[in-house]
Amino acid sequence: MQEATVLVASGEIAGLIGPNGSGKSTLLRAVYRHLRPRVGTVLVGGHDVWRSSPRLAARRTAAVPQERLGDMDVSVRDMVAMGRIPHKGPFETENAEDASAVREALERVGLLGWEGRKLSTLSGGETQRVLIARALAQRSAVLVLDEPTNHLDVHHQLELLELIRTLGFTTLAALHDLNLAAAYCDRLHVIDGGCVVASGPPAEILTETLLADVFSVGASITTSPRTGKPVLSFYPLEVARSIPSPLS
Amino acid sequence: MVGLLAGLTVAFTASVSLGPLPIPPLTVWRILLHHMTGLGRPTGWTRVQDDVVWDLRLPRTLLGVVVGAGLTATGIVTQALVRNPLADPYVLGISQGASVGAVASIVFGLGAFGALSTESAAFLGAAGAFVLVYVFARRSGSMAPLRLVLAGVALGFAFNGIAHFLVLQADTPGQTNTALFWLLGSLANGRWGQLRWPAGVLAAGTVVLFAKARALNALMAGDETAASLGIQVERLRRQLLGLASLLTGVMVAVSGSIGFVGLIVPHALRMIMGTDHRWLIPAGILGGAAFLVAVDIVARLALQPQELPIGVVTGVIGAPVFLLLMARRRDLGGGP
């Protein structure tokens, strides 16, 4: 990932889109303090993430990374309670604030009452909601999501993004699905080959030229009468190649 | 937790009561009370009973408590370190390194190592193994679990080979026996003087571990997740490796290499108490202590008057238990 500038306004949902290997995950890892950038700074709420202590940074930024390793024997409650870690000292016990943070988080994602379930027994969509609940329990202002809708069926993809929209975090999400990105993001940042090649509202950014140059696909782009958002209908690659302008 | 404490008390009492000279439990406690507080009249028991309890069985039982707790704590640390609930301290190669040190000092005699005792040699072996594992497991500043396991297992095999080779260099059958007994682990040398270091390191280690309990929970969820929760993952891994090595070195130095405790006890406790390290650590200390004391009773009495090396008993119990645990785990691809 080369030096890039990505600005996310408070309260907005910003989407990072780009082909595989373009550097989206790398950028996000620098934001949630997993990968130190060799050059440049990451500022969250005006604070330099890499100059703050990790705990302080974690109080400001929560993340749902792509990784799914880990001990699946953990309970829903324990996973969500991990969101309180940045707020707790070494020997501090759980207090009322922790309990209410966990409870409220579960409530907002619609999983109140699921505390005792083991993560291994949940579906993909339910697991994602648990991880979002963990981020909620962290009580941060910013949420970073790396491909949150991968492996989810259509209903759960929409459900998850609509949930995120109601939560009010300042959100930075890497998304593969361009239609979802168009429908749910306030701004898009396009990453290609380690550089940010375009930034702006979806309607401005998503053009046939961009799709051809960055994603090597052709599509017809219309605006949905119901939602007012751009809708992309992708052509098969052969068809796209036969059209004079896009992929020639 | 209360159950574990009760279990430990029962095992402790049984261990001090049982033996070639059985002593009633109540008498045992009265002797202990007398020694510790001066209360009670020393007429309710014989001199022989007093010696057996205080000088022979109590140190041995206490050693079992300390080593059992220490090995279990090490198991918990190792499992968090390599992010696998089925890992054992052996996976890090440290105890095998300690074996090399101990066997070398037994076979070549104290002279070759100056004034070093077997215990110190074992500890040095563990320290050396730690350095090697650390060096080999790191790559560009980070220490991924897989690399750690590979380095630890490979070095463990190497150390084992060296240790066994050294056993073959023994001059006398007596040395061979001592070396083999050491390799299989024993609490037979429980003496009061031996308890200081292991008990001290265990106490300090437990405090440190408990302070990091939440960080360990986060680590189990994944490196990126832990980082996003404010954990300094690489620093924590280094600290855990150091802690595991220190605990292993100290425990193995006094009791030889005892296998499976660090694997079975944490795993069994996880099934009962869940995965939260704030409960797992105290439970591990109590459960591990109770377990090893109970195993030692079997080792002492099963084939009386012959004493079984404790590693044999843990192996005979441990292997079937491990296989059973493996069969029950869904994520290994088998079972309902």
pLDDT digits 0-9 by tens, A123-182: 888 899 999 999 999 999 999 999 998 888 899 899 999 999 998 889 999 999 999 999
Q: How confident is the model at residue B334 (pLDDT cuts 50, 70, 90)?
A: very low
Q: What is the mean pLDDT of residues B145-165?
A: 90
Q: What is the spatial distance between Cα B109 and Cα B123, in angstroms, rounded to a whole number?
A: 16
Question: What is the nearest CA distance from B6 to chain A, expressed in angstroms?
Answer: 25
Between CA B200 and CA A134 the distance in angstroms is 38
* Nearest Cα residue to B315 out of B295, B294, B300: B295
Question: How many structural domains are present in chain B?
Answer: 1
Residue A78: closest C-alpha in chain B: B276
Q: By mean pLDDT, which of B29-33, B169-173, B214-218 is the weakest?
A: B29-33
State the nearest Cα–Cα gap between B23 and chain A, in angstroms: 42
Q: How confident is the model at residue A114 (pLDDT cuts 50, 70, 90)?
A: very high
Domain assignment present for B24: yes
Nearest C-alpha in A relative to B232: A54
Tell if the CB–CB gap between A62 and B232 is shorter than 8 Å: no
Task: Give the mean pLDDT of A30-47.
Answer: 87
Q: What is the pLDDT of residue B41?
A: 67
pLDDT of A244 higher than 70: no
Minimum distance, in Å, between the CA of residue B225 and any CA atom of chain A: 7
Helices B94-108, B145-168: inter-axial angle, 10-degree rounding? 20
Look at residue A201 and give its three-state secondary structure: coil
Q: Is residue B333 assigned to a domain?
A: no
Quick: pLDDT tens for A201-221.
Answer: 999 999 999 998 999 999 999
Write out chain B residues lying below 8 Å of A138, CB-based: 229
Minimal Cβ distance to B85: which of A71, A78, A82: A71
Minimal-distance CA residue of chain A relative to B233: A34
Residue whose C-alpha is closest to residue B54's, from B233, B116, B46: B46
**CATH number reported for the structural domain that contains residue B223 in this entry:** 1.10.3470.10
Contact A85 B218 (CB under 8 A): yes
Top-confidence range, A186-190, B241-245, B303-307: A186-190
Across the interface, whether the CB atoms of B230 and A33 are under 8 A apart is answered yes
Instruction: List the alpha helices (DSSP H) in chain A.
Output: 24-31, 54-60, 76-81, 96-108, 124-137, 154-167, 178-184, 202-205, 208-210, 237-242
- Between the CA of residue B25 and those of B45, B101, B139, what are the distances in Å? 12, 39, 55
What's the domain range around B232?
Answer: 2-326
| Residue with the larger pLDDT of the pair B42 and B314 | B314
> What pLDDT band is residue B110 in, cutting at 50, 70 and 90?
low
**8 Å CB contact of A90 and B218:** no
Query: How many CB pairs below 8 A link A and B?
Result: 93
Residue B317 pLDDT greater than 50, yes or no:
yes
pLDDT at B54: 75
Domain-located, residue B10? yes
Report chain B residues whose CB lies below 8 A from the CB of A34.
223-224, 227-228
Nearest residue of B to residue A74 by CA position?
B275
Which residues from A are below 8 Å from B274, CB to CB?
73-75, 78
Model-level pTM greater than 0.80?
A: yes
Residue B281 counted as domain residue = yes
Percent of chain B with pLDDT over 70: 92
Q: Rounded mean pLDDT of A15-27?
A: 91
**Is B334 domain-assigned?**
no
Question: How far is B120 from chain A, CA to nearest CA, in Å?
Answer: 33
Contacts of B223 in chain A (CB under 8 A): 34, 67
Query: What pLDDT shows up at residue B333?
Result: 42
H or E element at residue B266: helix B261-273
Around A102, how many Cα atoms within 13 Å sit in the side-chain half-sphere? Answer: 21
pLDDT category at A246 given cuts 50, 70, 90 is low
Question: Considering the domain boundaries, does residue B30 fall inside one?
Answer: yes
- For residue A247, pLDDT over 70 is answered with no
What is residue B330's predicted lDDT score, i.e. its pLDDT?
A: 55
pLDDT above 60: residue B332: no
Sheet strands (E) in A12-82: 13-17, 43-44, 47-48, 61-64
pLDDT tens, position by position, B169-196: 888 888 887 788 778 787 776 677 778 8
Instruction: Answer yes or no: is pLDDT of B111 > 50.
Output: no
Lowest mean pLDDT segment, chosen from A131-135, A166-170, B31-35, B135-139: B31-35
**What is residue B123's predicted lDDT score, i.e. its pLDDT?**
85
What is the distance in angstroms between the Cα of B252 and the nearest Cα belonging to chain A? 29
- Can you give the pLDDT at residue A190? 94
Cβ-defined contact of A57 to B231 (cutoff 8 Å):
no
pLDDT at A79: 93
Report yes or no on B194 lying in a domain. Answer: yes
Option in A56, A59, A65 nearest B225 (CB): A65
- For residue A216, CA distances in Å to A182, A194, A212 come to 18, 17, 4
Average pLDDT score over residue span B84-99: 85
Q: What's the whole-number average pLDDT of chain B?
A: 82
* Closest CA of chain B from A175, distance in Å: 18
Closest Cα in chain B to A52:
B230
Find the CB nearest B228 among A32, A71, A72: A32
Model pLDDT, residue B67: 92
Task: Collect all residues from B whose CB is shorter than 8 A from any CB in A.
Answer: 83, 85, 210-212, 214-215, 217-218, 220-225, 227-232, 270, 274-276, 330-331
pLDDT of residue B66: 92
Residue B331 in any domain: the answer is no
Tens digit of pLDDT for each residue in B261-308? 888 889 888 888 888 899 899 999 998 998 898 888 888 888 777 888
